[in-house]
Amino acid sequence: MISYQVVEHGKPLQKVLSETPRPQGTEVLVRITRSGVCHSDLHIWDGYFDWGGGKRFYVKERGCVPPFTMGHEPFGVVEALGPRARGVKAGQKRLVYPWIGCGKCAVCKAGQDNYCVSGSRYLGVNRAGAYSTHVLVPDAKYLVDASGVEEAYACTLACSAITAYSATGKLPALGPKDEVVVLGCGGLGLIAISVLRAKGVKRIVACDIDDAKLAPALKQGAARTVNTRAPDAAASLQGAAGALDFVGSPATASLGIAALRKGGRYVLCGLYGGELVHPLPPIAQRAIGIVGSYVGSLQELKEVVALAKKGKLKPPPVHTRPAAEANAALEDLKAGRVVGRTVLDFETAS
């Protein structure tokens, strides 16, 4: 199989040829056709997350040690099954749920693999991922039938859409006049707007520092847009019932939390980096919630796929490029040149 691997953090990925694994036990081997490029891949590529105040979290501490294959938006064809694998057949096209836990801890048993407390096996994060012609999946139950959804768009459901969907589920109960602020209109923000619309939320305020990203946000269904570089940006966001932060910088956190009305909730998804410094009394006095959200559960992925199949989600712009251009795709994302989502095509990588 061919993989595009991080051989040294921060250096270009290298094309590596290795033996295609044989599935054992309940494992399933999937031949990748499409693989989404996510913003968090940039941090894995760099080798660390910025915790602010000069502190860093190194990805090697959670098992991501080069040579490493990134890619947590896998879509492909079932190629081979282990002797105890059940529920799929060779040749079937499937979306792979990548947020796989240990399967044994109480959290995993409650269906929340993405919050596994005793040994996560996240594909492309601490297990070999989908920047590769082949991915080994521990069990067929992590394969989701997304037939009817265009492949390049379908793969993005595994991270960007599920993350947005799970985040919207953490908002407080919304009345018809309640506003929800969406901070950051890259791939995640755009799909979040679409998810909110599908859930019947109409008063969505799309925010970004780049007007080029605000235009597609309006097309996705935002009621209004705010360029957060404008001097009156903070004032124009006041009174929101909820804020979804897909950037996760000190600036967006400040804006999102300050925008909340009493009882409002700020949901943090973005991993840009930095630290939060906020006075404590008003958190209690305003009864606001500050909550993190990390990807989503297998059940949530199935719900997102169901919405996509019914045409209830509006796909963000998706640009497909050959897998051999993985490095250029990462560079473009890093430079902020991507509107929507980039997907690697692995059918041309043989």
Q: Which residues bind Zn ion (CB under 5 A)?
A: 38, 40, 101-102, 105, 108, 116, 159
Strand partners, 31: 77, 134
How far CA 91 is from CA of 28, 29, 30, in Å, comes to 12, 11, 9
Q: Which is nearer to Zn ion, 81 or 130 (CB)?
A: 130
Q: Which is nearer to Zn ion, 23 or 98 (CB)?
A: 98
Q: Which is nearer to Zn ion, 71 or 82 (CB)?
A: 71
Q: Are 68 and 107 in contact (CB under 8 A)?
A: no
Residues 6 or more apart whose Cβ sits within 8 Å of residue 26:
82, 84, 85, 86, 138, 139, 140
Q: Are 304 and 280 in contact (CB under 8 A)?
A: no
Q: Which is nearer to Zn ion, 46 or 79 (CB)?
A: 46
Comparing CA positions, the residue from 79, 99, 101 lying closest to residue 89 is 79
Residues 6 or more apart whose Cβ sits within 8 Å of residue 181:
205, 207, 237, 240, 242, 243, 244, 255, 256, 259
Q: In one letter, which amino acid is 289?
A: G
- Quote the least distance from Cβ 120 to Zn ion, whole Å: 7
Comparing CA positions, the residue from 115, 44, 54, 52 lying closest to residue 253 is 52
Q: Which is nearer to Zn ion, 5 or 225 (CB)?
A: 5
How far is 139 from 121, CA to CA, in rounded Å? 12
- Quote the least distance from Cβ 49 to Zn ion, whole Å: 13
**Does an H or E element contain 95, and which?**
strand 93-96
Q: Which is nearer to Zn ion, 288 or 318 (CB)?
A: 318
- Quote the least distance from Cβ 23 to Zn ion, whole Å: 21
Q: Which is nearer to Zn ion, 18 or 40 (CB)?
A: 40
- Quote the least distance from Cβ 270 to Zn ion, whole Å: 11
- Quote the least distance from Cβ 123 to Zn ion, whole Å: 11
- Quote the least distance from Cβ 319 to Zn ion, whole Å: 16
> How would you classify residue 42: left for phi > 0, otherwise alpha for psi between -120 and 50, otherwise beta?
alpha
- Quote the least distance from Cβ 205 to Zn ion, whole Å: 24
How far is 97 from 84, CA to CA, in rounded Å? 19
Q: Which is nearer to Zn ion, 33 or 160 (CB)?
A: 160
Residues 6 or more apart whose Cβ sits within 8 Å of residue 326:
4, 13, 37, 131, 344
- Quote the least distance from Cβ 263 to Zn ion, whole Å: 30
